[in-house]
C-alpha cells in the first residue's frame, strides 16, 4: 500500500490551507493585495458528484463552499456537506459544478475561462456577468492568479 502525500482536494484541511496561502500571498505580494482588495461579495460554490472519500468526510453527496469578502478581506468562510434544498442565505453569486470539473480547473488541466466559456461551471444569476463585463474580466483574471498560488503552494491529492 502506498502512502499518499499532500492534502485531499476539497477536504476541510485542504480548503483551510488554500485560504491561508491566499492570505499569506495578500500579505507579502502587492499585486495580489491590490487585485483582491477590489472585491466585496458573498459567493456560494456548490459541488456535486464528490468521490466516496469526501462523501464520508462530509456525510453528504454535495458540498458548498461559502466565501464572504469585504474589500478583499475574508469575512466568512465555510465548507460543508449539503442536501439539494440547502439554503445558504443571500449571496451575490451561486456557482455550481461537478467535482470533476473543479478538479480539472484546480489541477490546471483547464483554466477558469475555458470552464466558463464551455459552460462547465454554472453561475446564477448569469445576467450579472454581462451587466458588468469589467467586473467579470477582473474576477476571471484574479481567480486564475489565486488558483496558480494554490497550485504552487499546496501538494494536492485528487481522487
pLDDT of residue 84: 73
Other Cβ atoms closer than 10 A to 5: 8
Grid cell in block for residue 29: 505580494
DSSP codes of every residue in 53-68: HHHHHHTSSEEEEEEE
Q: Report the alpha-carbon distance of residue 97 to residue 29 in Å, rounded.
A: 30
Neighbouring C-alpha atoms within 13 Å toward the C-beta of 1: 2
**Averaged over 93-103, what is the pLDDT?**
95
d(CA 116, CA 100) in angstroms, rounded, equals 14
> What would the mean pLDDT of 53-74 be, rounded to a whole number?
94
Domains and CATH numbers, the chain: 7-152 (3.30.1050.10)
- 4, pLDDT greater than 90: no
- Other beta carbons within 10 angstroms of residue 144's beta carbon come to 13
Amino acid at each position: 500500500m502506498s502512502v499518499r502525500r499532500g492534502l485531499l482536494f476539497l477536504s476541510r484541511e485542504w480548503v483551510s490551507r488554500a485560504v491561508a496561502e491566499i492570505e499569506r500571498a495578500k500579505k507579502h505580494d502587492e499585486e495580489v493585495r491590490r487585485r483582491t482588495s477590489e472585491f466585496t461579495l458573498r459567493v456560494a460554490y456548490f459541488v456535486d458528484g464528490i468521490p466516496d472519500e469526501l462523501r464520508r468526510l462530509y456525510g453528504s453527496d454535495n458540498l458548498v463552499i461559502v466565501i464572504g469578502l469585504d474589500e478583499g478581506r475574508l469575512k466568512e468562510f465555510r465548507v460543508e456537506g449539503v442536501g439539494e434544498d440547502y439554503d445558504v442565505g443571500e449571496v451575490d453569486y451561486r456557482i455550481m459544478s461537478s467535482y470533476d470539473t473543479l478538479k480539472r480547473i484546480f489541477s490546471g488541466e483547464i483554466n477558469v475561462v475555458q470552464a466558463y466559456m464551455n459552460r462547465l461551471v454554472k453561475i446564477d444569476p448569469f445576467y450579472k456577468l454581462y451587466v458588468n463585463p469589467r467586473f467579470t474580466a477582473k474576477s476571471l483574471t484574479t481567480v486564475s492568479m489565486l488558483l496558480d498560488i494554490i497550485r504552487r503552494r499546496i501538494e494536492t491529492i485528487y481522487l
